[in-house]
Amino acid sequence: MQVQRKLNQSLLLAEAYFKRKFTMPEVNYELRGIKAGVAYLQKNEIKFNRTLLQENTDEFIRQVVPHELAHLIVYKMFGRVKPHGKEWQFVMNEIFKLPADTCHQFDIKNVQGKTFEYRCACQTHFLSIRRHNKIMKENIEYLCKKCKGKLIFVDEDE
């Protein structure tokens, strides 16, 4: 119910600013994994991660709900643009009066699944089973964003 209330409040702000009506998006809570929410632009639908919502209710309602709605508003007003580009930042900052944060800081231990340890020159990384399997089966390489070094699997069996 709080999600619906926040969507309504945020939608009213966007309608007042753009002087037009927007259709309320369909909402479901079946999103899995580490993402808090995903907006499906053509479907006018938002999927939220029920576990992250339950574990971080206040911050989730305050930030994630308007974040995903902003994607739909931007799509309706500007078409296909960068997901977190200047239009989206404008909606977040100027219309919703919120920071344009692109990543949540929620604890993901209850939603992330099995991880695999990898190292580069500067740090340890934990990759999802999907990324690990891509490396093992498809010879895909991942690079560290900081040092640009190749991520090397740390095999506990060795």
Q: Is 67 annotated as a binding residue?
A: yes
β-strand partners of 119:
124, 152
Structural tokens at position 3 = 């999600």
- Do residues 46 and 26 lie in contact, with contact meaning Cβ atoms separated by under 8 Å? yes
The pair of three-digit structure tokens given for residue 70, joined into one six-digit string? 């902003």
Active site residue 87: no
| CA 44/CA 114 separation, integer angstroms | 32
Q: Which of 45, 68, 141, 158 is catalytic?
A: 68
Residues marked active site are found at 68
User: From the annotation, which residues make up the binding site?
Assistant: 67, 71
User: From the annotation, which residues make up the binding site for Zn(2+)?
Assistant: 67, 71
